[in-house]
Amino acid sequence: MNTKKLLLSGLAAIAVVVAASAQKTEYDPVKAPYGHGEDSVKCRLNLSLMQTSAKAEDYNGALNPWLLVYENCPASSKNIYIYGPRIFKAFYTSETDAAKKKEYLDKVMEIYDSRIKYYSKDDARGMILAYKAYDYIELMGERADQSVVYGMLNEAIEDMKDQMNPLDAYSYFMVASLSEYLSDNSKKDRYISDYFRVMGYVDRAIAAFRSANDETSADYLSQVKDGIVKGFVNSGAGDCKTLTEYYADKVEPNKEDKGFLNDMLDAMGSVGCSETDLYFTAAEYLYALEPSAGAALGLANKSLRDRDYDTAVKYYGDAAQMETDKNKASDYMMQLAGIFSNQRNFARARQAAYDALEYNPSNGEAYILIAQLYASSAANIFPEPEKAGLVYLAAVDKLQKARSVDPGVVDKANNLINRYSAAFMDTETAFMMGIKAGESVFIPGWIGETTTVRLR
C-alpha cells in the first residue's frame, strides 16, 4: 500500500472509531484512567505501541494505537495529547485534498480541547490554548483566520495574565489584535484596550522575573515587549490625537487608579504626547497618589511649558531619583541640560550634564554637550581675544573623555575634536604671549578649569 492510500485508510479509521466506539459510560478518568480488566491491558499495550512509533516519527504506525487510547482511556497519559497533534499535523502536511486537510486540522484542534478536559490541572489551561493557537497558525499559514487566533489567545492570556507561558503568546495575541483592527477600523478601541491590558501583564511579568533573578526570561520578555510597542506606535491607532480622545473621559473616573494612570502616561509618552493638558492632569493625579518617575516627568514638562524653570528642575531631579533604569534617569538630566543650553544658561546646563553622568558614567553625550558649551563660550571667557583658543583646549578634554567612556559617540567626538583643534592658539601667538606648550593654564569665568596647553 502506498503512502497516500495509507493516509486515507488512516482517516477512514478515524471515522469508524469515532462513530462506532463512543467512550464507555463507566469510564472513570480519575480512579481508573486505564479502564478495567481487559480494557486496561489493551490501553497500556496500545499506549506503548503508540509512543514507540511516534517517537520514531512513524505516524502511520502510531495512528491506530493512538485512536484506541484516545477513545477508550483518554486520561491515561499526557503523551496522548503530546503525540496526537504531531500525528495529524504530519498527515495534514502530506495531504493535498482540501477537505481531508480540514479534517486533520479539526482533529488537532479537538485534541487540545480534550487535553484541557483531562489535563488542565497538570498544565495551565492558558498554556494549552496557546499551543493550540500556535498549531493552528502553523497549519493555516497565511490563510489563518486572525479572529480565530485572537479568540484562542485572548482566552489564554486572560487565564494566565502576567504568568503567561509561552512568553511570546503576548506578541502573537497583539499581532492578531492589530490584524483585526487593520482589517476593520471599528476595532481600534479594542486594539488600544488590548495593548494597555497586555502591557500591564508584561510589565508585571518582567518585574517578577527580575525579582527572581531570572534575567534570561526578563530579557526575552523585554524584547517581546519592544516588538509590541513598535507595532502599537506604527499602527496609526496610537497617535496623540487618538489617545487623547480615547482617554478624555477616562481620567476623572480613574484618577485614584495608579495602574491606569501609569499605563496612560506611558502610552501617551511613547507617541510623543507628553505636553498636553490631559497628560499633565493625569501626571498630577498620579503624583498625588504615589510620586513616580513618570508622573514627575509629566509635571516637569508642564513646568517647562509654563516657563517655571525652577519647578521643572525640581521635577526632573525627582524623576531621575525615582527612575529604576539609570540610563533613563541620565537621559532625563540630559533633557534638562539641553533646555538650559538653549537658554544659554551654560552653567546650569553643565551641572545637569554632570548630574546625568552621576546616573550613567558612560553617557558620552553628556561630555560632548559640556564640550559644546565651552566652545560656545570661547569668545567671552578671556578679555584678550587671542586667548580664545585656550578655551577649546578644555572643550577637547571633554571630547576625549566622551570617546573614552562611550564607544557610541567616537565618530561624533572625533569630528568635533578635529574642528576644535583647528581653533587652538597658534605657535607664534603663544610665543608672543609667553605661553608654552605642555604648561598648565587656568580657564576662568564660569568654566573654572585647568588644562594643558596644546598649540597648532
pLDDT of residue 394: 96
Instruction: Tell me what percent of the residues of the chain surpass a pLDDT of 90.
Output: 64
Residue 13: pLDDT band (50, 70, 90) is very low
Query: Is the pLDDT reported for residue 306 higher than 80?
Result: yes
The three grid cell numbers given for residue 321, joined into one nine-digit string: 531619583
pLDDT of residue 3: 39
Q: Which of 108-122, 124-138, 199-213, 299-313 has the lowest mean pLDDT?
A: 299-313
Find the mean pLDDT for residues 97-106.
95
User: What distance in Å separates the CA atoms of residue 104 and residue 10, rounded to the nearest whole number?
Assistant: 11
Q: What is the pLDDT of residues 328-372, one digit of tens each?
A: 899 999 988 998 898 889 999 999 999 999 999 999 999 999 999
Q: What is the pLDDT of residues 277-293, one digit of tens each?
A: 898 899 889 889 988 88
The three grid cell numbers given for residue 313, joined into one nine-digit string: 528642575
Q: Which of 65-74, 105-114, 145-154, 268-277 has the lowest mean pLDDT?
A: 268-277
Query: Is the pLDDT reported for residue 36 higher than 70?
Result: no
Q: Which of 161-165, 173-177, 263-267, 372-376 has the lowest mean pLDDT?
A: 263-267
Q: Which residue has the higher pLDDT, 305 or 3?
A: 305
The three grid cell numbers given for residue 431, joined into one nine-digit string: 610665543
For the purposes of burial, counting CB atoms within 10 Å of the CB of 74, is it exposed (0-12), middle (13-18) or buried (19 or more)? buried
User: What distance in Å separates the CA atoms of residue 396 and residue 416, rounded to the nearest whole number?
Assistant: 8
Mean pLDDT computed over every residue of the chain: 88
- Residue corresponding to grid cell 489493551: 42
Query: Is the pLDDT reported for residue 220 higher than 60?
Result: yes
Residue 28: pLDDT band (50, 70, 90) is low
Across-strand partners of 32?
Answer: 28
pTM of the model: 0.57
Query: Is the pLDDT reported for residue 15 higher than 70?
Result: no
Find the mean pLDDT for residues 127-147.
95
- Which of 95, 94, 117 lies closest to 30, judged by CA? 117
Query: Is the pLDDT reported for residue 66 higher than 70?
Result: yes
CA dihedral (319, 320, 326, 330) positive or negative: positive
pLDDT of residue 32: 58
Find the mean pLDDT for residues 173-179.
96
pLDDT of residue 258: 85
